[in-house]
Structure 1
């Protein structure tokens, strides 16, 4: 081999290790396009890697993409743990929904009854409406009592043997008794309705007091 060629080969032999070292040094810490994951493990150590970190599989990990976007990697759970998390999330969602619905109802209630006087006025009107219905039923009872008296007068002729009374007369007696029973049941139901309506207004007043207080002008009372 010529001297010049041997010299050139020797030079390359010396340069190759240096180039290789430079190539290694120039490589990035993570593969091209990989995210960087970081977390604090159970021992308090801050760990970083180019892939999800096994020591932090039970906790959140932060991932930073090459573009600079950040995201949270959720822990990996067993089927039971995931089911428990889903159940907690479901209950939390239901609770939030109930709270939102309760606030919506309170707003609607406050719009309907902006003050105590309005609320009490509607209570009185509701009671009056029920009393009107009850009065009509009692009036009907009075009419039935007169009809019963007329039937009883006719039955006087058959008091020794009621079975001899005409079928039409016995039907009148039965119809009258059934009608009286219906009216009495109706009146009892309306009395129960009055109690229910009064209880509803009492409950609404309890709920409305703090709302009235919150919306009342400074120095004004919210009502008792």
Structure 2
């Protein structure tokens, strides 16, 4: 027959080979299956090709709570990593600014000298106010039996003098607090810098 001459009957296409799933369960057993393994839903599974190579990895299936906890752990780890990076950056900047103890001591001394200069100026002003007060007291001596009879201008001088003294004393107290803050900052920096200086020190060759 001409119709069928040389014609090869059609063959069905071979079925696509499915993957093989493998994992190690909670009891340490290696499990395999032709589909995702339910007993390993909480852990990573591998999908293998027929040749045995890893086709893909399947992440564990998490509950909403587990997923939230995992995301929180990842977020905390990222924050910690960012803090460490920032801390290292600050340490490098600190080491550049203070390459040795001498440089650090010098800047501390300069900062304290500036504060002391301000305190000394305030103390000098207190001395001037004390002199003014002495003159006011001398003028008030005439009215010591009844200060209310002193002129308003003289009583205003007395009041202004007292307020100025209080202002200068508060200012000096604030500057003393600033000295303590400066010293505390330099002490804290010194503690951080000591190991950095030690690690940055050039090696010496023993003779």
Count, aligned residues: 194
- The Cα shift of 1:52 comes to 3.3
Aligned equivalent of 2:101: 116
Match of 1:27 among 15, 28, 31: 15
Change (3 A) 1:52 1:131: same
* Structure (1/2) with the larger helix percentage: 1
Measure, in 2, the Cα distance between the counterparts of 1:64 and 1:164.
107
Q: CA deviation at 1:41?
A: 2.2
Which residue pairs with 2:120 in the alignment? 135
Is 1:53 paired with 2:37? yes
Cα distance between partner residues in 2 of 1:37 and 1:159: 106
Partner of 2:7: none
Q: TM-score, normalised by structure 2?
A: 0.83
Please identify the structure whose Cα radius of gyration is greater: 1
How many Å apart are 1:86 and its aligned residue? 1.7
Are 2:88 and 1:80 equivalent residues in the alignment?
no
Structure 1, gaps ≥5 residues long:
1-18
CA contact (8 A) 1:39 1:48 kept: no
- SS of the residue corresponding to residue 52 of structure 1 reads coil
**Alpha-carbon distance between aligned partners in 2 of 1:65 and 1:96, rounded to the nearest angstrom:** 38
Normalising to structure 1: TM-score of the pair? 0.77
What's the counterpart of residue 142 of structure 2? 157
SS class of match (1:184): helix
Tell me the distance in 1 between the aligned counterparts of 2:39 and 2:132. Answer: 92
Shift of 1:180: 0.6
Tell me, in whole angstroms, the C-alpha distance in 1 between the residues paired with 2:158 and 2:48: 91
Could you tell me whether the CA contact under 8 Å between 2:47 and 2:57 is conserved in 1? yes
Distance 1:195 1:70, change over 3 A: farther
**1:96: which partner in 2?**
81
Which is worse superposed, 35-44 or 101-110? 35-44
Which digits, 9 at most, give the CA deviation of each residue in 1:45-104, with x for residues without a partner? 23243x5332211111234689x8854322111222122112211211111111111101
Tell me the CA shift for residue 198 of structure 1. 1.2
Tell me the C-alpha RMSD between the 2 structures: 2.7
1:176 correspondence with 2:173: no
